[in-house]
Structure 1
Amino acid sequence: MINIDQKVAEHVCSGDSELSKDILLSSKPLVLRGLADSWPLVTAEKTSHAAFLAKLTEYHSGEPVVIYEGLAEEDNRVFYNKDLTGFNFQPAQCDFSAFCNRLVEHKKLLYMGSTMVDRWFPKLRSENPISLTGIDPLVSLWLGNQSRIAAHCDFPQNLAVVVAGNRRFTLFPPDQLENLYIGPLDYTPAGQAISLVDFHAPDFSTYPRFEEALKNAVVAELAPGDGIIIPSMWWHHVEGLSQVNGLVNYWWRTSPGYLGNPMLALKLAMLSIGQLPEAQKQAWRSHFEHFVFNNSDEHLAHIPRPQQGIAGGIDETQARQLRAELLNKLNR
């Protein structure tokens, strides 16, 4: 098990406090102690796991849920099999009450991944409210036993609230990508590329740069009612420390949705640029630096503002036109 001394910064919340923009848009991880202490879900959990699961069942729509069950008792990671040709779990549809009954004593990995709250638990948000003024997040619920989610990053800004059990978050800045040994982009256990390093038993001979990543890591342990801001693109490994662990996630973009997901741009660049001759790749690097990563207005000062086109900024109309152009050309 890795040992990390540097802790995530903390902010103590009062029961009725509204989260400021500075908190919600924090560029570094931030623990929000006591954020959801007054939630009925958290109050029930502080009585017992059984009371928590009973309260959660009250919110459930009755629709079956998708769960993941581990294939090997000794590994509670949501991960690949040994040769990365498959996964170490199998998915199944399950009655939610039956899943809860199994959860309290199951030894292998048992896990309900990102499940949309508004569809499967429609009363949860109204009875466990949080003030996120000006933000319309996507809200999901995670529920499992002592499962481990390998380090990964998400494009949206993320507020995660622990509602059952204790969780350990280990986080790395975006620039640690190279030191985390990321697996395949197009074949992943849960939609996002993950670190292949086992945080419980890191193999430094196979993954030597992981030692450098650990020098830049921060860690936080959260109890029921605590929240944490995970900024966009920060890598995070999440571990459930209790037999029953529940987490509510709030995801939102800080840019308009019509601008699309940057991961699509990365994959398209890999398709169209990644296998060019080296001299051509370096030429395209200059284009990206000039047109994408240059935050100065000076590089376009020689073009009248109305004629700068997409280089000068993209509104919703331009985004739709550009998307249609790209789709048309990609489908040829």
Structure 2
Amino acid sequence: MNGDNATSIFRTNYVLPVIHNATKEIFLNDVYPKRKPVILRGIDIGPCREKWSVDHLRKYGGDKEVKIHVSTTPQMDFLKKNFVYRSLPFSSFVQRAAEERHSEFFLSEEEHYYLRALGDDPRKDIADIHHQFPELAADIHLPEFYEPSRFYSSVFRIASPGVQLWTHYDVMDNLLIQVNGSKRVVLFSPREVENLYLNGDKSEVIDVDNPDLERFPKFPEAERHEGVLEPGDILFIPALWFHNVISLEFGVAVNVFWKHLSPNLYDHKDTYGNKDPQPAARATQILDRALKTLEELPPEYRDFYARRLVTRIQTKAYMKKDDSVT
């Protein structure tokens, strides 16, 4: 399907499919094997949809200190760090995040906030809403569309209106449960790596709707998958799918991550759940050493053997274009 984006520069823009009233069996049999993002609508996520007003969140979330992102612009850039980290009592943070203009602020009256809840000790503890916010967690039903033994984390997220998060991928499958507020999501397949201008696990393209075509000429070639999450919607994001998220309103959401690969492939010291699987990390280290070795050659030789390496990787490791992703 050809995109009808206002800028008309993008090759293809797919609308995310919506599946109503999916059961665990439907998810596991009809959705999960396809390894593509879908919006699940009509699933009971508990009384949080009605309860989690600003006042309720402030009252039952408590005054524990939370570390937040604060920026003068709604487009947050993790690579250039156009935000600062600050701490606030949770109740104060919620009040500020819901405001358009602030009487108390760190940088400006119109600053924007984003919370990605951490474990009690971020160096050791994995985020789990049941541990960090037990009274609020009692209001939400997290769909167990996975084996409970594979559960990794449940991450509480709150954002000011307009906040846009950088495009990145995660190494685990996850469900993004949108409780309050609507959210626009733009996703890209793992096969679009060459068009996304990666720096680590993040794209350097911050404005996905109006990219700098001089810096990122191949970006419009990336196939986009786009949709809007309404309160109560759940977005299935398969591992390695790049996603860019824009909060159209004050938004409250919870991510549930689980280990869909063999547990021994993950870094057991990874409390954030964002480190590449260990074989991939080792392969990257080996490649870095190979590139360092090529620097010993004159430019034309370095170019030749680098191209041979790329061709060999494509031949040995790439999936065929028509292969299904499993």
Q: Which TM-score tier does this pair reach, normalised by the shorter chain? A: 0.7 to 0.9
Kindly tell me: are residues 205 and 89 of structure 1, through their superposed partners in 2, closer, same or farther at Cα, counting changes over 3 Å? same
**Distance in 2 between residues matched to 1:62 and 1:25, nearest whole Å:** 42
Which residue of the partner structure matches residue 323 of structure 1?
none
Deviation for aligned residue 1:153: 1.0
Which residue of the partner structure matches residue 194 of structure 1?
203
**Distance in 2 between residues matched to 1:18 and 1:180, nearest whole Å:** 33
1:53-64, aligned counterparts within 5 Å? 53-57=54-58, 59-60=60-61, 62-64=63-65
Q: Does 1:157 align with 2:166?
A: no
**Distance in 1 between residues matched to 2:188 and 2:146, nearest whole Å:** 28
Which residue of the partner structure matches residue 226 of structure 2?
219
Which residue of the partner structure matches residue 68 of structure 2?
67
- The letter of the residue matching 1:101 is Q
SS at match of 1:6: strand
Q: Does 1:144 align with 2:159?
A: yes
1:1-332, aligned counterparts within 5 Å? 5-13=13-21, 17-18=23-24, 20-22=27-29, 23-36=31-44, 38-44=45-51, 52-57=53-58, 59-60=60-61, 62-70=63-71, 72=72, 75-79=73-77, 86-106=80-100, 107-115=110-118, 116=127, 117-129=129-141, 130-135=143-148, 136-145=151-160, 146-183=162-199, 185=200, 192-213=201-222, 216-242=223-249, 244-260=250-266, 261-262=276-277, 263-277=280-294, 278=302, 282=308, 286=312
Which residue of the partner structure matches residue 316 of structure 1?
none
User: How many residue pairs are counted as aligned between the two chains?
Assistant: 268
Residue range with higher mean Cα deviation, 135-144 or 22-31: 22-31
Deviation for aligned residue 1:118: 3.2
Which segments of 5 or more consecutive residues in structure 1 lack a partner in the other structure?
45-50, 186-191, 296-332
Computed over aligned residues only, the root mean square deviation of the Cα atoms, in angstroms, reads: 2.9
The answer (yes or no) to whether the contact 1:68–1:91 under 8 Å persists in 2 is yes
Deviation for aligned residue 1:253: 2.1
Kindly tell me: are residues 88 and 266 of structure 1, through their superposed partners in 2, closer, same or farther at Cα, counting changes over 3 Å? farther
**Distance in 2 between residues matched to 1:162 and 1:105, nearest whole Å:** 19
For the pair shown, the structure with the greater C-alpha radius of gyration is 1
**Distance in 1 between residues matched to 2:313 and 2:206, nearest whole Å:** 34
**Distance in 2 between residues matched to 1:2 and 1:41, nearest whole Å:** 37
- The letter of the residue matching 2:114 is Y
Deviation for aligned residue 1:155: 1.1
Return the TM-score normalized by structure 1.
0.71
Which segments of 5 or more consecutive residues in structure 2 lack a partner in the other structure?
1-5, 101-109, 119-126, 267-275, 295-301, 321-326
**Distance in 2 between residues matched to 1:91 and 1:113, nearest whole Å:** 11
